[in-house]
Amino acid sequence: MAEPDWCCGMGGSFNLQYYDISKGIGMKKAAQINDTGADVLATGCPACMIQISDMLSQVGANISVRYPVELYAEGLDE
């Protein structure tokens, strides 16, 4: 992913106070995620999960946002 270390734009309450700026940052992140061609994105941050899920939904991307431990647990079942 291009710029994987960039913030998703949620920033705790930043999203609530400055939604338009937050959305702009989030849309950039969503585009970069979408460009990877991945069907799953893993993050351990609950705020990132909310923001990224919302932004991916708004761009119509069919990418699941999951907690890393969920993916690990699924691997144990196989």
pLDDT band at 17 (very low <50, low <70, confident <90, very high): very high
| pLDDT at 44 (0 to 100) | 94
pLDDT band at 78 (very low <50, low <70, confident <90, very high): low
The H helix count followed by the E strand count for the chain is: 4, 2
pLDDT band at 12 (very low <50, low <70, confident <90, very high): confident
**Average confidence (pLDDT) over 32-51:** 96
* CA dist list (Å): 41 to 2, 13, 21: 14, 23, 23
Percent of the chain scored above 90 by pLDDT?
Answer: 87
- Are 71 and 49 contacting, i.e. CB atoms less than 8 angstroms apart? no
